[in-house]
Amino acid sequence: MIIHSEREFWQNLSVRRFRPGGERRLGLDGRLCRFAGTDAIFTAPPLLFGVTAVDDWERRLAEAGTLTPDTVDRIMQLHGDRGDKAIEAVSEKRVKEYRDFTVVVGRADEYVVEDDGCTCKDAEYNLDPDDPEQLCWHAIAVRIARAIDETDEHDMWYSDVREFL
């Protein structure tokens, strides 16, 4: 889910459970918050408003530099089978960065991924383009590969290469 405002954030965390004046780590990224009376005071910059669960696992991946059990769990929980396919593709170096496009090699075809958008049928028919957490496995694979630096770099133009496929 995406949290757009501070109010929404607190509604989601049911802040009333916390003791006034108490202090603890909470929130999507575990920032420290302090409670004074009934008000909560952030002791760190505002939380991840507008940040999606996709951005969250991507950030964790980038920090770890590799696929950890925790990030694999998060990806699988959010994306199910699509996450599984994406992880497999990354481990097989099937995310290709060309000079002009990023391409994911599937079993039957290759797909161009740009800003989480993809040319595949899954993206076209099954996913809500307005929900940034709904990604096809190609787009997930690109996010993963970039975060852990596992893209396969090609110093070529895909528009040239594609003609030979």
- Over the window 72 to 111, marking each residue x when it contacts Zn ion by CB under 5 A and - when it does not, the resulting string is ---------------------------------------x
Binding part of the chain for Zn ion, among 9-17, 78-86, 87-95, 118-126 by CB under 5 A, reads 118-126
* Residue 127 within binding range of Zn ion, rule CB under 5 A: no
* Residue 123 within binding range of Zn ion, rule CB under 5 A: yes
Q: C-alpha distances in angstroms, 11 versus 16, 20, 29?
A: 9, 16, 16
Number of chain positions touching Zn ion (CB under 5 A): 6
Residue 131's nearest CA partner among 29, 52, 28 is 52
Binding part of the chain for Zn ion, among 34-42, 46-54, 69-77, 128-136 by CB under 5 A, reads 128-136
Q: 22 is written with which tokens?
A: 């108490």
CA atoms within 13 A on the CB side of 65: 0
Residue 8 or 124: which CB sits closer to Zn ion?
124
Q: What is the DSSP string of 33-70?
A: EEEETTEEEESSS---TT--HHHHHHHHHHHHTS--HH
CA distance 142 to 73: 18
Binding part of the chain for Zn ion, among 30-38, 48-56, 61-69, 113-121 by CB under 5 A, reads 113-121
User: Shortest approach of Zn ion to residue 122 CB, angstroms?
Assistant: 5
* Residue 47 within binding range of Zn ion, rule CB under 5 A: no
Contact 84, 76 (CB under 8 A): yes
User: Shortest approach of Zn ion to residue 70 CB, angstroms?
Assistant: 25
Tokens 């990604």 belong to residue: 135
**Where along the sequence are the contacts to Zn ion (CB under 5 A)?**
111, 118, 120, 123, 136, 138
